[in-house]
Amino acid sequence: MIVFNLWAVLQWYLRPFIKWFLRKTTRLCELQRICYGDKPGTSRTCNVEKSLMLSRTRDVKEIICYLDGIVQERRFVPQNFADIIEPSINIIMRVKKINPKLHGSFILSFRRCLQQIWSYKSLIENIEELRRTQFDSNNIQHEEKLLKLWDLLVPDEPLESRVTKQWQHIGFQGDDPKTDFRGMGLLGLENLLFFATEYSQVSRHVFSHSLHPRYGYVFAIVGINLTSMAYYLLKDGSAKTFMFNARQYLPSVNLFHRFYCYLFYEFDKMWIESKPQDIMEFSIIFKKFENAIRMELADPATVFRINIEVDTV
């Protein structure tokens, strides 16, 4: 512990000297070295973030505060990027004395990093809001979403009434799903609905596994527990690997949903492969699953593909 603290203190004092030395020898600032040296995606973006957060330059600190403020105001959306990010990049270029004519590719990759870093922060706010919104059976939109989920999963069998035992068929606990969302609020329902809508084939395939006479499980309840897992992975930053390595997308609510779908598909696979004796093994297998996912996310090189193949057997 003491050794570790000592090292942290040393690093704090040594960092400027190391940076100065590297700057003189490579004639590049730290941000440039990261953008040119690190692979695009998680490792580059995370290192840029670390470098910015550790910076003691006044202008850099101000930019961080400014961008954080934009996130709080919920204005960090792609339409505003030109107005928000470009001035920030210009200030950093000036402060770090980077010649824009010589370092065009730096601008490109640095811009992408800024977009990713603050989109992720913005995503946390949006997801938190969805989670805090309680499922409300007096809200028509909430009710419609719930009914749509049923139609997507069990298209051949209409619901007999709003409160019915049928809900247990898709893995809710009782006759009315409204009390099952609990701490995950509307986010739990939105996640399930996205899975059933955007990956209709896969979700029905996974759902059919949940009805297996021997290895069946409670689909919706497991889904809500996976929402909780995805939420914690997002909050503690572990989900950055998934989000920053997604080349075509920036962190967004939809990308979070995709992350959830990936988790659901993978969990189902692990569950079936584990051949559990009964549902009481859920806690153990779920913990094992979380550890496996955390291992994957710990490696910044991991690229997650969601082109899930469904066997037709």
Partner 1 sequence: MGLLSILKKLRSNPDKELRLLLLGLDNAGKTTLLKQLASEDVNHVTPTAGFNIKSVLSSGFKLNVWDIGGQRKIRPYWRNYFENTDILIYVVDCSDHQRLEETSLELAELLQDEKLRGVALLVYANKQDLATGKLSCSLLVVHIQDIQTHSLAPA
Q: Which stretch binds partner 1 (CB under 8 A): 43-51, 58-66, 76-84, 215-223?
A: 215-223
As measured in angstroms, the least distance from the Cβ of 224 to partner 1 is: 5
Q: Which stretch binds partner 1 (CB under 8 A): 11-19, 20-28, 55-63, 172-180?
A: 172-180
Alpha-carbon span 259 to 256, nearest angstrom: 5
H or E element that contains 212: none
Q: Which stretch binds partner 1 (CB under 8 A): 56-64, 133-141, 153-161, 280-288?
A: 280-288
* 261 touches 202 (CB < 8 A): yes
Buried b (16+ CB within 10 A) or exposed e, 234-261: beeeebbbbbbbbeeebbbbebbbbbbb
- Nearer Cβ to partner 1, position 281 or 290? 281
Residue 180 binds to partner 1 (criterion: CB under 8 A): yes
- Nearer Cβ to partner 1, position 12 or 232? 232
Q: Half-sphere exposure (CA, 13 Å, Cβ side) for 287? A: 4
Query: Which one among 222, 230, 234, 239 touches partner 1, defined by CB under 8 A?
Result: 222
Alpha-carbon span 241 to 30, nearest angstrom: 22
Residue 282 binds to partner 1 (criterion: CB under 8 A): yes
Residue 281 binds to partner 1 (criterion: CB under 8 A): yes
Buried b (16+ CB within 10 A) or exposed e, 101-110: eebeebbebb
Closest C-alpha among 30, 42, 32 to residue 116: 42
- Nearer Cβ to partner 1, position 201 or 208? 208
- Nearer Cβ to partner 1, position 110 or 181? 181
List residues near partner 1 by CB under 8 A: 168, 173-174, 179-180, 182-184, 188, 217-218, 221-222, 224-225, 227-228, 231, 278-283, 286
